[in-house]
Amino acid sequence: MSHPRRALVLAGVAVAMALTALPATAGDIPPPDTVVTSPNVSHVLNIPKPAPIAATINTDIAFQDGYAYVGNYGGFSIYDIRNPKKAAAVSSVVCPGGQMDVSVHGNLLFTAVDSSRSDDSCNSTSQSASVKESWEGVRIFDISDKANPKYIKSVETDCGSHTLTLVPGKGADRNKNVYVYVSSYQPATNFPDCRPPHDKISIIKVPLRNPAAAAVAATPVVFPDGGNETQPGLLLPTSGCHDITAYAEKDIAAGACMGDGVLFDISDRLNPKITARTTDPNFAFWHSATFSNDAKKVVFTDELGGGGAATCNEATGPTRGANAIYDISNGQFTFKSYFKIPRYQADSENCVAHNGSLIPVKGRDIMVQAWYMGGLSIWDFTDAARPREIGYFDRGPRADGGGGGIWSAYYYNGYIYAADFNEGLDVVNITDRLTNSAKNVRIDRLNTQTQESYRNSGHG
């Protein structure tokens, strides 16, 4: 979503024909608040937001050992999903600060705070970034007791932490440290800790045996000559990155950096280097990235309208606000095609390409992705030039005319989990010949911005 510090905007045919052959029309929009799915998708369960954070919106999700950790602008919640059909909330921590994107590693939960606060505590209040004493950055919690998480450390970072990415150490360092790549942007001359130019990321080094010693270890400048700042139609000029996805075992990362899509060499964890860079006049805001399992492709998302606009309607069309699929060959990007959900949404529905993950199907490239009020889409980009939707879960427009939708949708151990702004946590199942083999894949941990290969996660 666009920067919360300033101007957060919220606030009977064959299925193959329905999904790929016939153009969508406004008449396909479902009734208000109605759940609709493709025939191969079923709604297993909805878990409303726990009372302590019911008034604020859900954001990102991380998974570990049969538990889901769901971020929320008011804090985060832990869910027991070991039996997905009986998934339930275990605890909630009230600790406000947008966006509260989350990642997990062992007994540590990392949360991103990109809203300027009066201090680093969970009792802080909103305070302008123009005040030197204001705080924003990364909070670290001990989650060894899931019913009673403990806040153990904060690390302040320049311009806060819009998103964060965990990157494990290499070799002998792997079991000693984890690195947190912090993406932040939108500096201003009157912000003492967030002044332009801000063409960098912050890297926090976390000693796993002493996480309270976590500290910023490097602030590499990724755009020494400046990023894409003048392209017509950009939501914001490049001033850092919005999101980074690391594929650590391959020593690469993909950066969605506002006006730029980039490929990093992260073989030196504290000194990532851009090895390829691309722009697209059709893109308004490079939001996030997902590699194919073999890292020969990457999908970049465009957050057209910043998340608050109706960009999945007939007026916007099929390519603006779409994902862009690139081949990666000889370390360079080659554009192949766009993909956008083929189901038009109402003009009252904020709809945009957002967070998703691969579905671990050997030999194919399939992912599930959130589209805010466009619901979630399951789509196949094995043929990068001809991507197609193979399933979906959606809700009709909100009866009260308000916004919202699904922020993140990820596949974990046989089911799809979706964090909805207002509705809570949805558990969704897909039964399809293209994806059924993924149900045999079991992994311990999933942070979608820290990709691991299927083989490393248990897929033969």
Among residues 333, 358, 348, which one has the least CA distance to residue 411? 358
pLDDT at 125 over 90: yes
AA letter at 400: D
Q: What is the DSSP letter of 355?
A: B
pLDDT of residue 457: 56
φ, ψ of residue 98 to 5 degrees: the values are -60, 145
Average pLDDT over residues 311-320: 95
Quick check: pTM over 0.85?
A: yes
Residue-averaged pLDDT of the chain: 93
Which residues have a Cβ under 8 Å from the Cβ of 47 and sit 6 or more positions away? 79, 87, 88, 89, 424, 425, 426, 427
Q: What is the C-alpha R_g of the chain? A: 20
pLDDT of residue 256: 98
pLDDT at 244 over 80: yes
Among residues 172, 140, 169, which one has the least CA distance to residue 156? 140
Indicate the pLDDT class of residue 455, thresholds 50, 70 and 90.
confident
Sheet with 67-72: strands ordered across:
88-94, 75-80, 67-72, 58-64, 445-446
CB 328 within 8 A of CB 284: no
Distance of CA 45 to the CA centre of its chain: 22
pLDDT at 6 over 70: no
Task: State what percent of residues in the chain have pLDDT above 90.
Answer: 92
| Tokens standing for residue 155 | 């690390």
pLDDT of residue 18: 31
Among residues 432, 372, 450, which one has the least CA distance to residue 163? 450
Among residues 130, 77, 140, which one has the least CA distance to residue 107? 140
Q: What is the largest CA-CA distance in the chain?
A: 61
Average pLDDT over residues 240-253: 98
pLDDT of residue 28: 79
Among residues 353, 379, 357, 348, which one has the least CA distance to residue 441? 357
What are 323-380's pLDDT values in tens digits? Answer: 999 999 999 999 999 999 999 999 999 999 999 999 999 999 999 999 999 999 999 9
CA atoms within 13 A on the CB side of 353: 30
pLDDT at 124 over 80: yes
What are 165-222's pLDDT values in tens digits? Answer: 999 999 999 999 999 999 999 999 999 999 999 999 999 999 999 999 999 999 999 9
What are 44-72's pLDDT values in tens digits? Answer: 999 999 999 999 999 999 999 999 999 99
Average pLDDT over residues 225-250: 97
| Rounded Cα–Cα distance for residues 32 and 396 (Å) | 5
pLDDT of residue 22: 43
Indicate the pLDDT class of residue 27, thresholds 50, 70 and 90.
low
Indicate the pLDDT class of residue 21, thresholds 50, 70 and 90.
very low
Indicate the pLDDT class of residue 8, thresholds 50, 70 and 90.
very low
Q: Lowest mean pLDDT of 24-28, 63-67, 250-254, name the range.
A: 24-28
Q: For the chain, which domains are there?
A: 15-446 (2.130.10.10)
What's the first-to-final CA gap in the chain, in angstroms?
Answer: 36
